[in-house]
Amino acid sequence: MTELTATATPANRPALSGRVKAALVLFVLFALMPPVASALDDPFYVLIGTRIIAYAIAAMALDLILGYGAMVSFGHAAYLGFGTYAVAILSRHGINDLFLQIVFAMGISAVFAFVTGAISLRTRGVYFIMITLAFGQMAFFFFISLSAYGGDDGVALAQRSTVLGMDLLETNFGLYYVSLALLIGLFFLCHRIVGSRFGRVLTGVRENPTRMEAIGFSPFRYQLTAFIISGCITGVAGVILANQAQFVSPAFMSWHKSGELIVMVVLGGVGTLAGPIAGAVAALMLEEWLGHFSDNWKLYFGIFLVLMVLFSPHGITGVLRKMGLVRGQE
């Protein structure tokens, strides 16, 4: 009980500091990408960079429940879809402000996460995985049935969102840096959550829910709250994806996307926050790079992932830790 109520301890300070330092390095590299793209006269890197940032936010949100709450959600792409359709639906009704779209996306995500989480969290293990998959597919087929928004074919957006009435997102550079600002803000929000009393209780529930319940904490309430927060953050990633692609379709919320998010978390390092961001970078850059060499790039990516899991179970974070570039346990 004393460990949970303490604000900071010598044992956890290095881990938190290491997590922030690793994230800051990634953020600096992200910030340098547009100037490098300009120097190379290749704007494609800015577009792919925005896509990477969106998936980095979604992977980090998933890590909040997977890495710290031991909740393996296989329907998390549904929240990506809610974010994309929040942009499409509000734009259709003349509401183009980015922040209003984010609030709407988070509201839908929160309601869906509350209802589905309250049901899913009554199960454990593979049953939890399957029921989250089922709810995700229900959302997927619901949006396929929305003929007003293109159904299975999706719908193109007439314009990108505005920021307080300004067309900051009309340029790829503007969209990129606004997306990066959202990633940085959400990372530090997740960092504070993980380092708070709430985060320590959530980690305790992951390790031994029976003991946490015995000392007076309700595992269900903490897990459900984390599930809702994670869904809301993933919804923000969907808003970014809609603006980056200027196209919305149910494909954003298929179970394949949920699997890709889990791969990013595992590839980067489960329970690290910064690791899934690196995992999103590695997964999407490998996809682009391998795609230039072969149409069967998924085969080679699968081999790479198997080797990573076999020789570095903690993903990229584990590799950096062995090299001495990352200290402490996340």
What's residue 5's pLDDT?
42
Is the pLDDT at 98 greater than 50? The verdict is yes
What's residue 116's pLDDT?
96
Residue 302 lies in a domain: yes
Instruction: Compute the mean pLDDT over every residue in the chain, rounded to the nearest whole number.
Output: 88
Global confidence as pTM: 0.91
* Cβ-based neighbours of 202, under 8 Å, separated by 6 or more: 68, 69, 222, 223, 226
Is the pLDDT at 2 greater than 70? The verdict is no
Residue 180 lies in a domain: yes
Residue 40 lies in a domain: yes
Residue 171 lies in a domain: yes
Tens of pLDDT, residues 231-279 = 999 999 999 999 999 999 999 999 999 999 999 999 999 989 999 999 9
What's residue 275's pLDDT?
92
Domain count for the chain: 1
Mean pLDDT of 214-242: 94
Q: Which residue has the tokens 């229900």?
A: 138
What's residue 324's pLDDT?
63
- Of 116, 24, 10, the closest CA to residue 65 belongs to 116
The pair of structure tokens assigned to 262 is 């889990």
pLDDT grade, residue 13 (50/70/90)? very low
Provide the residue type at 134 as one letter.
A
Q: How far is CA 324 from CA 4, 29, 259, 319, 327, in A?
A: 29, 20, 30, 9, 7
Is the pLDDT at 14 greater than 70? The verdict is no
Q: Which helix (H) or strand (E) holds 15?
A: helix 13-39
Pick the more confident residue, 99 or 13.
99
Burial 187-216 (b: 16+ CB within 10 A, else e): beebbebbbeebbbbbbbbbeebeebeeee
What's residue 317's pLDDT?
83
How many angstroms separate the CA atoms of 76 and 257, rounded? 8
- Of 228, 240, 244, the closest CA to residue 185 belongs to 240
What's residue 260's pLDDT?
93
Q: Are 24 and 278 in contact (CB under 8 A)?
A: no
Mean pLDDT of 158-181: 92
Q: What CATH code is carried by the domain that includes residue 42?
A: 1.10.3470
Burial 122-131 (b: 16+ CB within 10 A, else e): eeeeeebbeb
Q: How far is CA 50 from CA 79, 87, 158, 218, 240, in A?
A: 18, 16, 19, 39, 8
Residue 327 lies in a domain: no
How many angstroms separate the CA atoms of 225 and 236, rounded? 17
pLDDT grade, residue 102 (50/70/90)? very high
Q: Which helix (H) or strand (E) holds 308?
A: helix 297-311
Helix (H, G, I), strand (E, B) or coil at 155: strand
Is the pLDDT at 9 greater than 50? The verdict is no
Mean pLDDT of 270-289: 91
Q: Are 115 and 142 in contact (CB under 8 A)?
A: no
What's residue 184's pLDDT?
96
Mean pLDDT of 69-73: 91
pLDDT grade, residue 17 (50/70/90)? low
Domain that holds residue 291: 2-322
Mean pLDDT of 87-99: 93
Residue 330 lies in a domain: no
Residue 104 lies in a domain: yes
Q: Which of 15-19, 20-24, 53-57, 247-251 has the highest mean pLDDT?
A: 53-57
pLDDT grade, residue 8 (50/70/90)? very low
The pair of structure tokens assigned to 127 is 């049953």
Tens of pLDDT, residues 294-327 = 778 888 888 888 888 888 888 888 777 777 666 6
Give the phi and the psi of residue 155 in degrees, each rounded to 5: -145, 140
Residue 141 lies in a domain: yes
Q: Is 279 exposed, middle or buried (0-12, 13-18, 19+ CB in 10 A)?
A: buried
